[in-house]
A and B are shown apart, each in its own frame.
Chain A
Amino acid sequence: MMNTTMKIIKYELFDVLRNKWLIGYALFFLLATDTLFRFGGGGAKVVLSFMNIMLFVIPLVCLIFSLMYIYNAREFIELLLSQPIRRSTLFRGMYFGLSAPLALGYLFGVGVPFLLHDNGAHLASLIMLLLSGVLLTFVFTALAFQIAAWQVDRAKGFGAALLAWLVFAVLYDGAILIISFTFADYPLEKPMLVLTMLNPIDLARILILLKSDFAALMGYTGAVFQHFFGSELGVVLALTVLAGWAIAPFWLGARFFRKRDF
């Protein structure tokens, strides 16, 4: 006997794995990684260039694709909820049915070129790249689910998602830069640590760089992070907080979803 969540996941996988946008997403990573390997020099450089791409692309695609999917499924969600099924079960099933194929698309797109070109030379970096990409997928899909459960209005939902992406992917680093310049005379380590924890994209970047030869490129927050925790504890801590970044919006979204009207 499969439980109901697994059933929802199963059929959603049938649907999502055939989605042309998802296939395009996997192919994009495949092409990007492969091209970087062919023209971008050695494996270590590829890790770095690719990191900069994926830190932008994963959050954006997960937010927009998930929101589009949920908003389009509105009538079907209503039909499913008129069956003997709990709202929390459906929410859980839909979340994993959507985040799992997104994560798979990413793993496939990045993993295959690495296997073809790198012969495991940068295995540690690759693992961190894959792990942080998968975690970012779960984080931003959860954020999309929270937004969709909270905001019935499609346009407002997409607005909120784009704003979240803009803040995390672009504005946040700028703000940190301004803060560090403005308050250069003060001890900033601890506030900086807190600020880093508040941005999942920053955490993912640190996670990759802590285990690479490019620790110097970690920037201010990354350097503080390594200085405080060292690379081992740093990795564990970054992983934990990233997981929290997925769990919190998922939990909030499930609450909204249980209470809302359709």
Chain B
Amino acid sequence: MDFMQNGNGVLESPVYNSNIMAADNQSDHQTVLLRIEKLEKQFGSLPVLQSVDVTIMPGVVTAIVGPNGSGKSTLIKSILGLVRPDRGTIWIKGQKINGDCSYRRHIGYMPQIARFPENLRVRELLYMIKDVRESEAKLDEDLWRIFALDKERDKVLRTLSGGTRQKVSAAIAFMFQPEILILDEPTAGLDPASSSKLKDKILQEKARGKTIVLTSHIMSEVEQMADDIAFLLDGQIRFTGKISALKAHAGATTLERAMAQMMEKGAE
């Protein structure tokens, strides 16, 4: 039995981590899928991440939330190896990340902004990513079908609208059936119909046991999709644990109110 699943996130100190006990327990080492320990990053003299600890179990959807500039993107980019942390360690499937790129075959990433080489066709972009990944997995083409992207295959990427590029980006992230999906504001820029289709797909992958890390500013969306939450403020984790625990602690009925309270408290 792991602590994560029934972690009751009670906020006793400014930085409370309901996962620390699970992370310290060596027997959990194998079951933990992604573990971030004491991650620190500064840009110039500005500290962006300060001693960030996050533990993510397989099959769990974790939302990283926090105001703009709180370090969400830097945290995600550290997991992807795009940002080199100053201190701290990241383990993925028990393997420490230290410059080797092979762990990224387990990850599908959907960036916040989808921009591709202007003169490539959609199908050429697909072949390129496919070639680079050398993935043996059976391709998951659900999103191509759901978003009706097949009719765009021969179009040049420059001519696609922002929303369509976003759909292509989502389709690529899910295509290789990665164990871990990292989605940076996945629904931003999508129309309501597409947005709900993508959310359905995310929930479907969750049901299949995929581990998902996402960021969003829309709290109702976070409540719909996520089990756990990691709340970042000024580069520090202020809470990790179940969404219900956060609401109970803040004494709020909705996640949005709970977040607003925590942000105000953090500002004091």
- Chain A residue numbers with a CB within 8 Å of B257 are none
B115 interface neighbour in A75, A81, A84, A87, Cβ under 8 Å:
A75
Asked if A19 and B132 sit within 8 Å, CB to CB, the answer is no
When the two chains form the complex, which single residue of A19, A74, A84 contacts B101, counting CB atoms closer than 8 Å? Answer: A84
* Residue A8 at the chain B interface, CB threshold 8 Å: yes
Tell whether, in the assembled complex, residue B132 and residue A4 are in contact, meaning their CB atoms are under 8 Å apart. Answer: yes
- Expressed in whole angstroms, the Cα–Cα distance for A259 and B102 within the complex equals 18
**Binding-face segment, B10-18, B106-114, B212-220:** B106-114
User: Interface size on A (CB < 8 Å)?
Assistant: 29
Q: How far is the CB of B192 from chain A (nearest CB, A)?
A: 25
Q: Is the CB of B116 within 8 A of A76?
A: yes
> B interface, by DSSP: helix, strand, loop or mixed?
mixed
Contact status A78-B82, CB under 8 Å: yes
Q: Is B115 within 8 A of A11, CB to CB?
A: no
Residue in contact with A14 in the complex, picked from B114, B124, B132, CB distance below 8 Å: B124
B132 & A82 in contact (Cβ 8 Å cutoff): no
**A82 adjacent to B104 (CB under 8 Å):** yes
Which residue in chain A gives the minimum CB-CB distance to B116?
A76
A78 touches which of B104, B111, B120, B124 (Cβ 8 Å): B111
Q: In the bound complex, do residue B105 and residue A84 qualify as a contact, i.e. CB atoms below 8 Å apart? A: yes
Mark A1-29 against chain B: 1 for CB-CB distance below 8 A, else 0: 01010011001101110110000000000
**B84 close to A86 (CB less than 8 A):** no
A11→B124 CA distance, assembly (Å): 8
A228-262 CB contacts (< 8 Å) to partner B: 259, 261-262
Are A261 and B82 in contact, with the CB atoms below 8 A?
yes
Contact B131 A7 (CB under 8 A): yes
Contact B82 A259 (CB under 8 A): no
Q: Does B160 contact A (CB under 8 A)?
A: no
Q: Which residue of B lies closest to A80 (CB)?
A: B132
**CB of B155, distance to nearest CB on chain A (Å):** 13
A7 pairs with B132, CB closer than 8 A? yes
Q: Which residues of A contact B119 (CB under 8 A)?
A: 14-16, 18-19
Whole-angstrom distance between the alpha carbons of A79 and B184 in the complex?
A: 12
Residue of A19, A83, A84, A259 with most chain B CB atoms under a 10 A cut-off:
A83
Beta-carbon nearest neighbor of B41 in chain A: A261
A121 at the interface (CB under 8 A from B): no
CB neighbours of A53 from chain B (8 A): none
Q: Is A85 among interface residues, defined by CB-CB distance under 8 A?
A: yes
Is the C-beta of B118 less than 8 angstroms from some C-beta in chain A? yes
**Complex Cα spacing A45 to B82, Å:** 52
A-contact 0/1 string along B153-172, CB 8 Å cutoff = 00000000000000001001
Flag whether B21 is at the interface (Cβ < 8 A): no
User: Do B104 and A15 have beta carbons less than 8 Å apart?
Assistant: no
What is the CA–CA distance of A14 and B120 in the complex, to the nearest angstrom?
A: 7
Listed from nearest, the 4 A-B pairs whose CB atoms lie closest are A18-B119, A75-B115, A82-B109, A15-B117
Q: Which residues of A pack against B, CB within 8 Å?
A: 2, 4, 7-8, 11-12, 14-16, 18-19, 72-76, 78-87, 259, 261-262
Q: Can you pick out 21 interface pairs between chain A and chain B where the beta carbons lie within 8 Å of each other?
A: A2-B131, A14-B124, A15-B120, A19-B118, A72-B118, A73-B117, A75-B115, A78-B111, A79-B109, A79-B116, A79-B172, A80-B132, A82-B80, A82-B82, A83-B104, A83-B105, A84-B101, A84-B104, A84-B134, A87-B101, A259-B84
* 14 further A-B pairs in the complex, CB-CB below 8 A; given A11-B124, A15-B117, A82-B109: A11-B131, A15-B119, A18-B119, A19-B118, A19-B119, A73-B117, A79-B109, A79-B116, A79-B169, A82-B104, A84-B102, A84-B105, A84-B132, A84-B133
